Chains A and B, each alone.
Chain A
Amino acid sequence: MFERLPLPSQFDRIIVTGTTVVALVGLPILIVLLVLLTAGQISGAELVFWMASAVIVAGALGAVLVPNVVHAALALVATLLGVAAIFLLLATEFIALVQVLVYGGGVVILLLFGLMLTNAADDPVVTDGSQKPFAALVGVLLIGIFAAAALDAEWAGDVANIVPFELFGERLFRDFLVPVIVVAILLDIALTGAFVNARRERVEEPAADEEVRA
């Protein structure tokens, strides 16, 4: 029955592998967190934070390490949805909604289009450069610098405050009106530029070919 389904041959293998990885890595984390939650060690918000962090970091690692480009783009979706969950946790529903709509709906679809249009059939897996070790070194050093700076400082606030929608819109369109207009013009220019760049010039030859064939 499975042979009759119009699926790529590696589809079920991907599902089996992915489910196994998620079960082996995700389930212990989830069980430990649930035990801590029932024992009263962590609150529900912290449970959500750690789960979202696990999804974000795993998705980010997948996006930069997986050789198959389409899988990398799908890992990016997991990361961006996890970031939306973090925004919800920070009590900013509007940014979370915009994140899901713009990234999940628009940017990732554009990226997938780009991947499929530029990935020639003979080169489905783009090999990474030889500078991988140096890149890893720089990335780890960067994380270390940021972590040291964040842990070294004394932060005043310790509670995430809720910003009401009305205040947000008022501030955006009253105090930040000029930046909003500038960003609107930027979007217009960027999309026009993308269209002009990606457009095909008109070619005259195909008509002649058809006449010859006819």
Chain B
Amino acid sequence: MIPLENFLLLSAVLFGIGFYGVLARRSAILILISVELMLAGVSINFVAFASYLDPEAFSGLIFALFVITVAAAEVGLALGIVLRIFRERRTANVDAIDELKW
């Protein structure tokens, strides 16, 4: 059988790569993609813990479901905001968006 540590290490690697993407990417949509990677890593962790350690209550599965739902809502709302900013400023580069009011 696969030990639990394998899944934890896989999710750690996925989370780290996503974190690198959030810090290094400059396009707002690519930052969203990196956030999706981080959320996928967290979901693997939740599901692995629920499946290995908590088979009676399996709260981790429910949390993973909520993570996926909230990620979908987040992407929809963030894309609306990015499109609005792009229409006003003609850019989606987060370095160029540095004013609270215009």
Contacts and interface: CB of A to CB of B under 8 A. Distances in A.
A111 B75 contact: yes
A147 to B, nearest CB: 5
Given A89-B2, A140-B16, A193-B77, A157 B52 contact: yes
**Interface size class, chain A:** 35 or more
Contacts of A57: 10, 13-14, 17
11 contacts: A49-B2, A60-B17, A83-B40, A86-B47, A95-B68, A114-B82, A129-B24, A143-B12, A196-B80, A197-B81, A197-B83
A178 B40 CA distance: 24
Max chain A C-beta neighbours (<10 A), residue from B24, B64, B90: B24
A157 B66 CA distance: 24
Interface string A54-91: 00110011011000010011001001100100110111
Interface of A: 43, 45-46, 49, 53, 56-57, 60-61, 63-64, 69, 72-73, 76, 79-80, 83, 86-87, 89-92, 94-95, 98-99, 102-103, 106-107, 110-111, 113-115, 117-120, 126-129, 131-132, 134-136, 138-140, 142-143, 146-147, 150-151, 155-161, 163, 167-168, 171-172, 176, 179, 183, 186-187, 190-191, 193-198, 200
| Contact-residue bracket for chain B | 35 or more
Classify the interface of chain B: helix, strand, loop or mixed: helix
Contact of B20 (A56, A76, A139, A158): A139
Interface in B44-88: 44, 47-48, 50-53, 55, 57-58, 61-62, 64-66, 68-77, 79-84, 86-87
A20 B8 CA distance: 31
B39 to A, nearest CB: 10
B23 interface: yes
Given A107-B71, A107-B72, A114-B83, A150 B16 contact: no
B51 A110 contact: no
A171 B81 CA distance: 35
Top 3 A-B residue pairs of the complex, sorted by shortest distance between their CB atoms:
A194-B80, A64-B21, A139-B20
Interface of B: 1-21, 23-30, 32-34, 36-37, 40, 43-44, 47-48, 50-53, 55, 57-58, 61-62, 64-66, 68-77, 79-84, 86-87, 90-93, 95
Contact of B1 (A119, A143, A160): A160
Given A86-B7, A176-B62, A179-B62, 9 more contacts: A99-B43, A120-B91, A126-B26, A129-B25, A157-B4, A163-B58, A187-B72, A190-B73, A198-B83
B88 to A, nearest CB: 11
Contact of A142 (B19, B32, B40, B65): B19
Given A194-B76, A198-B83, A86 B44 contact: yes
